[in-house]
């Protein structure tokens, strides 16, 4: 699903497609894999494009962002500090009270099951906080 943050007549999903293609290396491949896993875990999530070029996935609030840097692809969970992480995926932004991130370096194996479980927990937490 797509929404918010469209620019130049392109939807956020098209902008994310473009980013993946533009990277053209392991970072694009990794971002594409992470995106596919997020979509599997949270099929109702909305893809958005914020802060001049950051892919964001939302469901009843922000789930996570997918930032790309020279040496890492960073998946930052907006409320990661409140999420259970039994597989110890979080390896970055550990000092804050709210966010947590996972840095993926070239060659890292993605634990698909653990990541999808984390995404589902993030959605459940967001939905539990929505005012009825």
Q: Which residues contact 31 (CB under 8 A, 6 or more apart)?
A: 16, 19, 20, 23, 55, 66, 68, 73
**pLDDT score at 39:** 97
d(CA 56, CA 113) in angstroms, rounded, equals 20
Vertex 11: Cα angle to 7 and 17 (nearest 5)? 105
User: Is the pLDDT assigned to residue 2 strictly greater than 50?
Assistant: no
**pLDDT score at 96:** 84
The values of phi and psi at residue 85, to 5°, are -135, 65
**pLDDT score at 1:** 43
User: Is the pLDDT assigned to residue 130 strictly greater than 80?
Assistant: no
What mean pLDDT comes out for the span 126-131? 84
User: Is the pLDDT assigned to residue 131 strictly greater than 90?
Assistant: no
CB contact at 8 A, 15 and 22: no
CB contact at 8 A, 119 and 64: yes
pLDDT digits 0-9 by tens, 9-58: 889 999 999 999 999 999 999 999 999 999 999 999 999 999 888 999 99
**pLDDT score at 6:** 57
**pLDDT score at 29:** 97
pLDDT digits 0-9 by tens, 73-127: 999 999 999 999 999 999 999 998 999 999 999 999 999 999 999 999 999 999 9
d(CA 75, CA 63) in angstroms, rounded, equals 10
């Amino acid at each position: 699903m797509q929404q918010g943050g469209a620019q130049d007549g392109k939807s956020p999903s098209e902008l994310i497609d473009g980013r993946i293609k533009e990277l053209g290396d392991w970072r694009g491949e990794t971002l594409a894999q992470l995106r596919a896993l997020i979509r599997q875990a949270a099929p109702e999530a909305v893809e958005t494009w914020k802060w001049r070029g950051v892919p964001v996935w939302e469901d009843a609030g922000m789930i996570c962002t997918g930032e790309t840097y020279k040496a890492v692809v960073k998946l930052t969970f907006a409320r990661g500090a409140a999420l259970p992480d039994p597989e110890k995926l979080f390896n970055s932004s550990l000092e804050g009270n709210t966010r947590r991130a996972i840095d993926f370096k070239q060659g890292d194996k993605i634990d698909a099951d653990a990541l999808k479980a984390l995404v589902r927990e993030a959605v459940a937490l967001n939905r539990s906080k929505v005012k009825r």
